[in-house]
Structures are given as C-alpha cells and as structure tokens.
C-alpha cells in the first residue's frame, strides 16, 4: 500500500473517530442525571446547566474557531480541540460540581472548534470526495450519538454510570492519539 493511500486510510479512521464524539459527550450525560445528582448530592434540576453550557460554548466560540486554525494550522488546531475534549472528559470523572461544569465547558469549546474544523479537514485532505467524507462524518456523528443513547442504560446498570463517562473519555483520547 502506498504512503499516500495509507495516509488517506488513517485520516478516514480519524474522521470516523472524531465524528463519533461530536455529539455524544453532550447528549449522553442527561441520560445519567439521576445518578449524577445522587453522586453530586444535588437535585436533578440543578444539573440543567450541564446541558446548556455546551450550547453556550458553541455560540461563544464557533465564530472564532478559525483563529486557532489560521495561527497553528489545521492539524495542531484539531489536536488542541481534541485535547480540550479529553481534558474536559477527564475532569467530569472527578465527580464534583466544579469539575463537571469546567469539564462540560471544555468539551463544548472543543466540539465548537471541531464543528468548524471538520469541513476544512475534509476539503484539505479529500478535495475530490468532499461530499462523501462530509456525509461520512455526519453519519458517524449521528451513529455515535445513537450508540451512546442505546448503550447508556445497559452499561450503567451493569458496570455503573461512571463507565459511560469513562467511555466518553476513551474515544476522544483515541482520536487525539490517532490524529
């Protein structure tokens, strides 16, 4: 296999992994609100902030997401965004309200940037297949979200809800290392 073909295959894997985590770190924790509320010794109604913060981060950071890409280049900017998601996911495993909030903010910032970077990544590395690869990461984003929605209840009942948060850390960490 030629170097160019291997690079294309590797980038395809990265695109799929990134697509898989573009929504699930935001949409999965609400499925665990009762368990999170018990662990944090708070009421579920006070955890609504965990679903609102990522949207606020999208609003605040999406318009400026191209700045790191222009300053550092696409690959380094993508690594920084993935790093935000990894650090944010790790902070959410600490299970305190401040770390949950800070982790959710970092995840929202990372995903806001990745939302902007993915079209650039696809057009830079697959200029002749933009439609195909955009469809692929969009599908993977929906598939990842659906998968986490389906596995959250069985995994949390069998292994504990912390396992879901751990999975939400492992997948971005693999994406970071693969990038």
What are the pLDDT digits (tens) for 46-64? 898 998 999 999 999 999 9
Pair 165, 93: CB distance under 8 Å: yes
Q: 80: domain range? A: 46-178
- Between CA 165 and CA 176 the distance in angstroms is 17
- Do the domain assignments include residue 37? no
Residue 6 has what pLDDT? 67
Look at residue 1 and tell me whether its pLDDT is greater than 60.
no
- Between CA 80 and CA 113 the distance in angstroms is 9
- Do the domain assignments include residue 26? no
- Do the domain assignments include residue 172? yes
Location of structure tokens 């396992």: 163
Residue 9 has what pLDDT? 79
Look at residue 2 and tell me whether its pLDDT is greater than 70.
no
Neighbours of 20 (CB within 10 A): 22
Look at residue 103 and tell me whether its pLDDT is greater than 90.
yes
What are the pLDDT digits (tens) for 14-37? 889 999 899 999 999 999 999 999
pTM of structure: 0.92
Q: What is the DSSP string of 58-80?
A: HHHHGGGTHHHHHHH-HHHHHHH
| Average pLDDT of the residues of the chain | 91
- Do the domain assignments include residue 97? yes
Residues of the chain with pLDDT > 90: what percent? 78
Return the H-helix or E-strand segment holding 100: helix 97-125
Q: Which residues contact 87 (CB under 8 A, 6 or more apart)?
A: 103, 106
If one counts the domains in the chain, the total is: 1
- Do the domain assignments include residue 22? no
- Do the domain assignments include residue 67? yes
- Do the domain assignments include residue 17? no
Decide: residue 100, CB within 10 A, 0-12 exposed, 13-18 middle, 19+ buried.
buried
- Do the domain assignments include residue 150? yes
Residue 155 has what pLDDT? 96
Q: Kindly indicate the confidence band of residue 3, based on its pLDDT and cuts at 50, 70 and 90.
A: low
């Amino acid at each position: 296999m030629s170097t160019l073909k291997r690079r294309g295959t590797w980038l395809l894997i990265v695109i799929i992994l990134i697509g898989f985590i573009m929504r699930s770190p935001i949409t999965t924790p609400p499925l665990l609100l009762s368990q999170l509320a018990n662990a944090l010794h708070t009421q579920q109604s006070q955890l609504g902030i965990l679903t609102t913060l990522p949207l606020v981060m999208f609003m605040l950071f999406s318009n400026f997401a191209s700045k790191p890409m222009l300053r550092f280049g696409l690959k380094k900017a993508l690594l920084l965004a993935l790093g935000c998601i990894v650090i944010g996911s790790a902070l959410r495993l600490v299970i305190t309200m401040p770390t949950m909030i800070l982790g959710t903010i970092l995840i929202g910032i990372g995903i806001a940037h990745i939302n902007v970077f993915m079209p650039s990544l696809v057009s830079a590395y697959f200029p002749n297949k933009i439609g195909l690869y955009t469809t692929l990461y969009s599908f993977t984003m929906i598939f990842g979200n659906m998968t986490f929605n389906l596995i959250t209840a069985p995994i949390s009942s069998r292994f504990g809800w912390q396992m879901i948060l751990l999975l939400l850390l492992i997948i971005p960490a693999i994406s970071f290392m693969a990038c």
